[in-house]
Amino acid sequence: MVLILATLSFFAPTAFSADANVKRNDLNLAAVKASVVELKSGKPLFAKHDDWIAPIASLTKLMTALVVLESGQSLEEWVEIPKPDRETSKNAYSRMRITSQLKRKDLLRIALMSSENLAAYTLAQSYPGGVTAFVIQMNVKAHELGMLDSTFVDASGLSVGNVSTAADMIKLTKAVAAKKIIGEYSTTPVFTARFRKPRYVLGYGNTNSLVHSSRWQVELSKTGYITEAGRCLVMVSKIEGKEVAMVFLDSFGKRTPLGDAGRVKRWIATGSGGKISGLALQYEQDKSKHYPGLKNEKMQAQIK
């Protein structure tokens, strides 16, 4: 354990005080890359390897939602569920029936809250010009937002080619947080989707259990996971009266990002930095080996 801690001190995060009146210990997060900011002011509270480029899995769907909403397409339009492309059919199971129809707004909701991959693909396929035009617009929007270390190749996030950084994802989070409907849809606890042609219903639950908790005021949420990306989470929550945006990329355990959110909340409220397991430390050490030495030197320079 001592060896692991000594090694990881080279990759130490940058921390910023959220409140000068609260004495803070160093915040310990299990995510390999992270960024925490006050949403309204943009004030950075904490950063950890936030410039490391990595797959972002279904966090991609936040950009998908933004492109859909800015396209001007009617959310009330009934959209036919298409046969999925190879990536979607190979890596994701869906209960939706091919050729049935669902309103665009409901496709958007279940893509966000329940991370329904075929719903995300359907949104892209129904865009003017189809999937190719949709993905191009995703990258155009990323450039507009200043997400210069981000690339999108599909609407669902199933491809390892969807990459970003924690710092870039904060920029996207700010943009989608301004769209209240994305916050509403992404934090819906449960939802019943009503299809037609043929008529049937499917129930969906939110992939983030914190939206069900009375102890949290979650205003925006998106989880993500593929093997290459690890467990990921974007969340905006009101903490100590302020909206706080959190991005956690690449955690080893399913509930680890939720634990990191809890550590951030306690750190802001009490100054306690929390603790993480030896397994999480080992995971970070192993993942850090895959990043160029230049990035490591940059991080070391940041903390001097």
Residue among 35, 58, 164, 221 flagged as catalytic = 58
- Give dist(CA 105, CA 66) in Å, integer: 13
Query: Quick one: pLDDT at residue 5?
Result: 35
Q: What are phi and psi of 208, to 5 degrees?
A: -110, 110
Q: What are the structural domains of the chain?
A: 2-302 (3.40.710.10)
Q: Is 105 a catalytic residue?
A: no
Residue with tokens 């009490």, as numbered in its chain: 270
- From the candidates 33, 61, 141, 171, which is the catalytic residue? 61
Helix 117-125 and helix 130-144: axis angle, to 10°? 100
What is the C-alpha separation between 186 and 239, in angstroms, rounded? Answer: 18
58 noted as active-site residue: yes
Q: What is the pLDDT of residue 302?
A: 34
Instruction: Name every residue whose Cβ is closer than 8 Å to that of residue 189 and which is 6 or more positions away in sequence.
Output: 205, 206, 211, 212
| Residue 247 neighbours by CB distance under 10 Å | 30
Q: Give the span between the Cα atoms of 62 and 288, in whole angstroms.
A: 26
Closest CA to 43 of 244, 198, 295: 244
What pLDDT score does 19 carry? 52
Could you give the 3-state DSSP secondary structure of residue 68? helix
What count of other Cβ atoms lies within 10 Å of the Cβ of residue 21? 7
Q: In sequence order, what DSSP letters do the residues of 113-136 get, joined into one string? A: HS--HHHHHHHHHTSTTHHHHHHH
Catalytic residue among 35, 94, 114, 115: 115
Answer yes or no: are the C-beta atoms of 269 and 45 closer than 8 Å.
Answer: no
Structure tokens at 190: 């449960």
Whole-model pTM: value is 0.89
Q: Is residue 48 flagged as an active site residue?
A: no
Q: What confidence score (pLDDT) does residue 289 get?
A: 80
- Residue 215: partners with Cβ closer than 8 Å, 6 or more residues away: none
Per-residue pLDDT of the chain (304 residues; tens, 9 = 90+): 333 333 333 334 554 444 544 445 689 999 999 999 999 999 999 999 999 999 999 999 999 999 999 999 999 999 999 999 888 877 789 999 999 999 999 999 999 999 999 999 999 999 999 999 999 999 999 999 999 999 999 999 999 999 999 999 999 999 999 999 999 999 999 999 999 999 999 999 999 999 999 999 999 999 999 999 999 999 999 999 999 999 999 998 889 999 999 999 999 999 999 988 888 888 888 888 877 643 444 333 332 2
Give the up-direction half-sphere exposure of residue 114: CA atoms within 13 A in the CB hemisphere: 21
Measured between its terminal Cα atoms, the distance across the chain in Å is 24
Q: How many residues does the chain have?
A: 304
Question: Distance between CA 273 and CA 203 in Å, rounded?
Answer: 38
What is the model's pLDDT at position 25?
A: 67
Question: How far does CA 256 lie from the centroid of its chain?
Answer: 14
Q: CA nearest 104: which of 86, 127, 128, 87?
A: 127
Q: Are 62 and 176 in contact (CB under 8 A)?
A: yes
